[in-house]
């Protein structure tokens, strides 16, 4: 097993010189003297796939990550020969393959290097397992930086790091814990204002070295399988990421309630305790949309059963909670208790659905229920069966969301905390050992869960959350960062991890607010809520044995601060929902790290505290105790301090006040931010009026506002509304134009416009090019607000 350098290993083998190549439609196949085959597939103008077969013969092509409906096709492909290279030119970049040793280099159309092989492809044969350890090394350019790789709990910029991907249950992990719950073998490099992406689609344990071993070399390798990677050219990170999510797929829009505040704990039981918690939320006017049931709702931790002593009538409870505006989310783990009187166990045994060891015995391991067997979710028939198991939970009882946990898969009290490597898997007909299936086990479980919840919750949209995942798993599920700890360092980590997940294609993610293990101080809790309300998924969760973590537990001051921020999230729901729309349509991350927002500004390359929520809100959490403010970097452009409405010019670091009830928030100039009134849960009230906050800009800025029925699938039949607001500010006037598409008609008929930062006094208003008296628009000079019909197309204010 190699865990050390990919280089110093004695047994490395390399391709020799090219003897021939063939071009067939989108593929160019190269063969070397020593029989290595390189297959380059041109998938998009900005994306190539590169596969290497050391024996010249490729295994059957199969991927769990790639979305079968991913868009592909290119505009241009030219293949030329020079004395030294075969040169492939697309509309966006150039790829050169060397005749000497088939090393590959990528260049932009001006010939500037984007990414070049250092040693390039090499491999080491594996006598023990068969096949090879497959390796790739690339040169790193001066000032090149690296971003991505999913949930890694380490510095945001990965330069100087060596990391491996092997899904692992890491209770109370720490900064730099090498392996966590997810495997996302995708990263982006950035240098000279050019960004590219590498997606190494290999489900074996993979390794990545970003200039850790050698200053100017990056490498990636796997313990088996194929050297099979996608190269995506930007030059903007935006282009790289949207191409990556096109390839690995986008989720459907979640129901809007899933974007509300969620309360969880291990565990709320019995029913009276659950009701006590939910009632308290309502009594204290603290908005909340979902309550979670952790493992104790089950009968002896048997999945798909209920402890009837604690929950005598789950269907009634779930519907009563729903009447009070709470959706119920229940946990389901993969381990099935060995118990012949338990139907699900019996059925899976009879149908041969459990994973087996190499020589035939079942894979037996201890999890919460005690000794368990584990369904092989890589078998399509097992997934189909598993989906069907949700009929009662979702279809009859009315649970609205499912939480999949322990699916790395986690096994207690054994070395490695997971299955031994000899366990067999179906891998959708490509039978293999756990070495290959480990990293996609959790993803396939979440996939089967998604199918089931979707089926039985239809025509409403499903909500799934999983702990383990692999690239492409974003198509099925949201995720969280697992068992973190109530420390300031973990608040810092949560901020980085969620930004990293967002630029790894998995935007719908959040951390256990307040920390899962141990107990936060009131101050830490409040600071964590402040950050958490700006994460795509927003849930408080904690382990039962460390005290309470409901917002009222820390006293009135913390309760009020937390409420103020959760209320802000509820006001911003239409803005967040629009960001989700952009994510599911285009793959645009919901949070944008500063480097993603403005890669040209090198000041952003090592920034990780600040991020952009959606497109126009800059957020910077406070990550230390006892402070009244902090220094933060404001990206280039002009920004309004959300709390003081004062505008500042960015492109520099500055001090920002942030006593405990404030977290620094800035709004980009020119932004139009749609806001709801505060509700206690999504759809509590009929929205009678939408507020649009408009931030003056000298110049132009576009903003979007997406709406639909908040649930259901009608939005796919054009029953949505997408408004684009174009704001143009001049010295003493401001023009707001609206363009609308889609057929959804919202419940309100007017917008309340609130203006911020106007450098002039409004004297005249032209509505659809006709002057109207200010009183007619209920102009409020003090508030700088007015009310207009929601279908306006142009408004013109003159000073
Ligand atoms: C795992 C999960 C945690 C859950 C607990 C009990 O530790 O990560 O969220 O509460 O199991 O189910």
The string of DSSP letters for 366-432 reads EETTEEEE-B-TTSHHHHHHHHHTHIIIIIIS---EEEE-STTT--BTSGGGS--TT-EE-TTTS-E
Alpha carbon distance 516, 483 (integer Å)? 5
Q: What is the pLDDT of residue 9?
A: 55
Which of 55, 73, 228, 200 has its CA nearest to residue 131? 55
Nearest to 221 by CA among 298, 146, 133: 133
Contacts of 642 (CB under 8 A, 6+ apart): 617, 665, 666, 667
Q: How far apart are CA 243 and CA 265, in angstroms?
A: 38
Is 272 in a helix, a strand, or coil? helix
Instruction: Examine the pLDDT at 10 and tell me if it is beyond 80.
Output: no
Please answer whether residues 547 and 525 qualify as being in contact, where contact means their C-beta atoms are separated by less than 8 angstroms.
no
Straight-line distance from the first to the last Cα atom of the chain, in angstroms, rounded to the nearest whole number: 73
Per the domain annotation, does 515 fall within a domain?
no
DSSP per-residue letters across 515-572 = -SBS---HHHHHHHHHHHTTSSS-EE--BGGG---SGGGG-HHHHHHHHHHHHHHHHT
**Assigned token pair, 314:** 């789950």
Q: Which two tokens stand for residue 649?
A: 């010019």
What is the signed CA dihedral for 644, 645, 647, 651, rounded to 10 degrees? 70
Instruction: Please state, in angstroms and rounded to a whole number, the distance separating the CA atoms of residues 684 and 309.
Output: 32
Alpha-carbon torsion (492, 497, 502, 504), positive or negative: positive
| pLDDT digit string, tens, across residues 661-703 | 999 999 999 999 999 999 999 999 999 999 999 999 999 999 9
Going by the DSSP 8-state scheme, the letter that residue 256 receives in this structure is G
Query: Known catalytic residue: 376?
Result: no
Q: Is the dihedral of CA 63, 64, 69, 72 positive or negative?
A: negative
Position 596 in a domain: no
Complete DSSP assignment for 461-509: PPEEEES-EETTGGGT-EEE--S-BSSHHHHHHHHHHHHHHHTTT--SE
Map tokens 């997408």 to a residue: 722
DSSP state of 100: T
Give the three-state DSSP class for 436: helix
Confidence of residue 1 (pLDDT cuts 50, 70, 90): very low
Which of ligand 1's atoms lies nearest the C-alpha of 483? 8
User: Is the C-beta atom of 335 inside 6 A of ligand 1?
Assistant: no
Q: Which atom of ligand 1 is nearest to the CA of 333?
A: 12
Q: What is the CATH number of the domain that holds 40?
A: 2.60.40.1760
**CA 283 – ligand 1 centroid, Å:** 28
- Annotation marks residue 483 as catalytic: yes
CA 540 – CA 529 distance, rounded (Å): 8
Residue 349 lies in a domain: no
**CA nearest neighbour of 333 among 266, 409, 265:** 409
Establish if 463 belongs to a structural domain: no
Task: Give the atom of ligand 1 at the shortest distance from the alpha carbon of 410.
Answer: 1
- Among protein residues, the one with the nearest Cα to ligand 1's atom 3 is 483
Tell me the C-alpha distance between 642 and 170, whole Å: 38
Among candidate residues 408, 523, 693, 704, the one labeled active-site is 408
Evaluate: CB of 294 within 6 angstroms of ligand 1: yes
CA of 541 to the centre of ligand 1 (A): 9
Cα(430)–Cα(426) distance, rounded to whole angstroms?
6
CA distance 538 to 532: 6
Smallest CA-to-CA distance from 40 within 32, 58, 52 is with 52
Give me the domain span that covers residue 89: 4-141+194-234
Centre of ligand 1 to C-alpha 788, Å, is 49
Contact 191, 142 (CB under 8 A): yes
Name the closest-CA residue to atom 4, ligand 1: 266
Contact 291, 301 (CB under 8 A): no
Evaluate whether residue 131 is within a structural domain: yes
Nearest-CA residue for ligand 1 atom 7 is 483
> Distance of alpha carbon 288 from its chain centroid, rounded?
22
Is the C-alpha dihedral spanning 543, 549, 554, 557 positive or negative? positive
Rounded distance, CA 506 to CA 151, Å? 10
The finding on whether 701 has its CB within 6 A of some atom of ligand 1 is: no
CB 331 less than 6 A from any atom of ligand 1: yes
| Span from the CA of 409 to the centroid of ligand 1 (angstroms) | 13
CA–CA dist 318, 290 (Å, integer): 11
- The question of whether 794 is a catalytic residue gets the answer no
pLDDT band at 6 (very low <50, low <70, confident <90, very high): very low
Contact 150, 182 (CB under 8 A): yes
Tally of domains in the chain? 2
Q: Given 234, 262, 285, which residue is the final one in a domain?
A: 234
Burial of 26 (0-12, 13-18, 19+ CB in 10 A): middle
Cα separation, 618 vs 639, in Å, equals: 8
Beta carbon of 402 within 6 Å of any ligand 1 atom: no
What pLDDT was estimated at residue 544?
77
271-283 vs 314-323: helix crossing angle, rounded to 10: 0
Question: What three-state secondary structure class fits 275?
Answer: helix
Interatomic CA distance for residues 327 and 461, integer angstroms: 13
**How far apart (Å, rounded) are the C-alpha atoms in residues 371 and 414?**
12
Ligand 1 centroid, distance to 440 Cα (angstroms): 20
Check the CA dihedral 638-639-645-646 and report its sign. Answer: negative
Do the domain assignments include residue 604? no
Looking up tokens 């720490």 gives: 174
Ligand 1 touching residue 98 (CB < 6 A):
no
Domain C-terminal end among 184, 207, 234: 234
Angstrom distances, CA of residue 159 to CA of 211, 215, 340, 606: 6, 9, 52, 10
Please, which residues have CB within 8 angstroms of residue 205's CB and are 6 or more apart in sequence? 164, 165, 166, 222, 223, 435, 438, 439
Atom number, ligand 1, closest to the C-alpha of residue 294: 12
Nearest to 301 by CA among 274, 348, 323, 269: 269
d(CA 255, CA 575): 15
Q: What is the DSSP string of 114-125?
A: EEEEEEEEEEEE
> What span, in angstroms and rounded, lies between the C-alpha atoms of 444 and 65?
10
Cis peptide before 422 (omega within 30 of 0): no
482 lines ligand 1 (CB under 6 A): yes
pLDDT in tens, 246-305: 999 999 999 999 999 999 999 999 999 999 999 999 999 999 999 999 999 999 999 999
Q: How would you label 497-536 residue by residue, b for 16+ Cβ within 10 Å and e otherwise?
A: bbbbbbbbbbbbbbbbbbbbbbbbebbbbbbbbbbbbbbb
Encoded tokens for 547: 């005290």
376, 483, 523, 711: the catalytic one is 483
Average pLDDT over residues 513-530: 97
Ligand 1 neighbour 295 (Cβ under 6 A): yes
Residue 792: inside a domain:
yes
The CATH number for 744's domain is 2.60.40.1180
Q: Dig out the tokens for 584 from the structure.
A: 């599911």
- Whether 584 is in the pocket of ligand 1, judged by its Cβ within 6 Å, is no
Res. 8: pLDDT tops 60? no
Pocket lining: 483 vs ligand 1, CB cutoff 6 Å: yes
Inform me whether the pLDDT recorded for 7 exceeds 60.
no
Beta bridge partners of 302: 299
b/e per residue 89-121 (b: at least 16 CB within 10 A): bbebbbbbbbbebbbbbbbbeeeebbbbbbbbb
pLDDT value for 4 = 44
Q: Does residue 737 form part of some domain?
A: yes
Q: What is the mean pLDDT of residues 209-218?
A: 96
Q: Which of 456, 162, 459 is nearest to 330 (CA)?
A: 456
- Report the nearest atom of ligand 1 relative to the CA of 406: 1
Q: Cα angle vertex 699, ends 695, 701, to 5°? A: 60
> Can you give the pLDDT at residue 3?
41
The tokens 């930062």 sit on which residue? Answer: 757
Residue that is last in its domain, among 209, 234, 259? 234
* High-pLDDT (> 90) share of the chain, %: 98
Range 490-506 average pLDDT? 98
What residue owns the CA closest to ligand 1's atom 10? 266
């Amino acid at each position: 097993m190699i865990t050390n350098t990919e280089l110093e290993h004695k047994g490395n083998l390399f391709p020799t010189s090219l003897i021939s190549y063939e071009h067939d439609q989108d593929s160019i196949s190269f063969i070397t003297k020593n029989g290595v085959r390189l297959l380059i597939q041109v998938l998009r103008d900005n994306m190539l796939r590169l596969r290497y077969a050391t024996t010249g013969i490729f295994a059957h092509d199969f991927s769990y990550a790639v979305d079968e409906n991913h868009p592909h096709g290119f505009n241009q492909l030219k293949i030329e020969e020079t004395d030294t290279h075969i040169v492939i030119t697309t509309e966006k970049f150039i790829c050169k393959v060397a005749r000497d040793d088939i090393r590959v280099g990528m260049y932009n159309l001006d010939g500037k290097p984007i990414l070049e092989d250092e040693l390039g492809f090499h491999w080491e044969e594996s006598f023990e397992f068969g096949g090879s350890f497959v390796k790739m090394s690339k040169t790193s350019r001066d000032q090149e930086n690296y971003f991505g790789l999913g949930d890694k709990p380490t510095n945001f910029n990965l330069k100087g790091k060596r990391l491996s991907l092997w899904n692992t249950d890491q209770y109370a992990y720490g900064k730099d814990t090498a392996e966590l719950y997810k495997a996302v073998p995708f990263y982006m490099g950035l240098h000279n204002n050019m960004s590219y992406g590498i997606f190494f689609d290999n489900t074996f344990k993979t390794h990545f070295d970003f200039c850790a071993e050698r200053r100017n070399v990056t490498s990636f390798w796997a313990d088996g399988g194929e050297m099979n990677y996608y190269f995506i050219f930007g030059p903007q990170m935006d282009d790289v990421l949207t191409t990556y999510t096109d390839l690995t797929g986008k989720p459907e829009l979640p129901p809007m309630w899933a974007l509300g505040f969620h309360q969880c704990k291990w565990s709320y039981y019995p029913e009276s305790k659950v009701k006590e918690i939910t009632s308290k939320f309502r009594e204290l006017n603290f908005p909340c949309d979902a309550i979670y049931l952790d493992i104790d709702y089950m009968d002896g931790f048997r999945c798909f059963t209920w402890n009837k002593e604690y929950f005598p009538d789950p269907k009634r409870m779930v519907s009563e909670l729903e009447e009070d505006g709470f959706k119920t989310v229940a946990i389901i783990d993969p381990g099935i208790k060995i118990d012949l009187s338990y139907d699900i166990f019996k059925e899976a045994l009879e149908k041969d659905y459990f994973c087996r060891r190499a020589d035939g015995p079942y894979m037996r391991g201890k999890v919460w229920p005690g000794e368990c067997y584990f369904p092989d979710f890589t078998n399509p028939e097992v997934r189909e069966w598993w989906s069907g198991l949700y009929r009662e939970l979702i279809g009859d009882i009315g649970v609205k969301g499912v939480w999949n946990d322990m699916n790395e898969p986690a096994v207690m009290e054994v070395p490695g905390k997971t299955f031994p490597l000899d366990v067999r898997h179906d891998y959708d007909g490509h039978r293999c050992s756990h070495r290959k299936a480990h990293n996609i086990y959790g993803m396939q479980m979440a996939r089967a869960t998604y199918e089931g919840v979707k089926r039985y919750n239809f025509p409403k949209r499903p909500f799934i959350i999983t702990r383990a995942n692999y690239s492409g798993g974003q198509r099925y599920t949201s995720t969280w960062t697992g068992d973190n700890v109530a420390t300031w360092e973990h608040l810092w980590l949560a901020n980085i991890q969620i930004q990293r997940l967002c630029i790894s294609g998995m935007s719908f993610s959040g951390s256990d607010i307040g920390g899962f293990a141990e107990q936060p101080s009131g101050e830490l809790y409040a600071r964590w809520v402040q950050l958490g309300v700006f994460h795509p998924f927003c849930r408080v969760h904690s382990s039962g044995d460390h005290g309470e973590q409901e917002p009222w537990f820390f006293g009135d001051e913390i309760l009020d601060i937390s409420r103020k921020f959760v209320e802000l999230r509820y006001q911003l729901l239409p803005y967040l929902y629009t960001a989700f729309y952009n994510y599911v349509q285009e793959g645009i991350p919901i949070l944008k790290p500063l480097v993603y927002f403005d890669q040209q500004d090198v000041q952003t390359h090592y920034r990780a505290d600040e991020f952009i929520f959606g497109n126009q809100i800059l957020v910077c959490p406070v990550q230390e105790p006892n402070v009244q403010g902090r220094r933060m970097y404001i990206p280039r452009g002009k920004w309004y301090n959300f709390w003081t409405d004062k505008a500042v010019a960015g492109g520099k670091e500055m001090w920002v006040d942030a006593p405990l009830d404030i977290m620094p928030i800035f709004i980009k100039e020119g932004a139009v931010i749609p806001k709801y009134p505060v509700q206690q849960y999504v759809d509590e009230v009929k929205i009678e009026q939408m507020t649009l906050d408009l931030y003056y800009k000298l110049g132009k800025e576009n903003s979007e506002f997406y709406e639909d029925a908040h649930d259901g699938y009608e939005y796919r039949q054009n029953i949505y509304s997408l408004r684009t607001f174009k704001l143009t500010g001049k010295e003493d006037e401001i023009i707001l134009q609206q363009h609308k598409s889609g057929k959804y008609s919202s419940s309100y008929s007017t917008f309340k416009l609130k203006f911020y930062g106007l450098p002039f006094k409004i004297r005249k208003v032209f509505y659809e090019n006709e002057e109207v008296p200010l009183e007619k628009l209920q102009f409020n000079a003090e508030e700088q607000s007015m009310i207009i019909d929601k279908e306006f197309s142009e408004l013109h204010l003159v000073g």
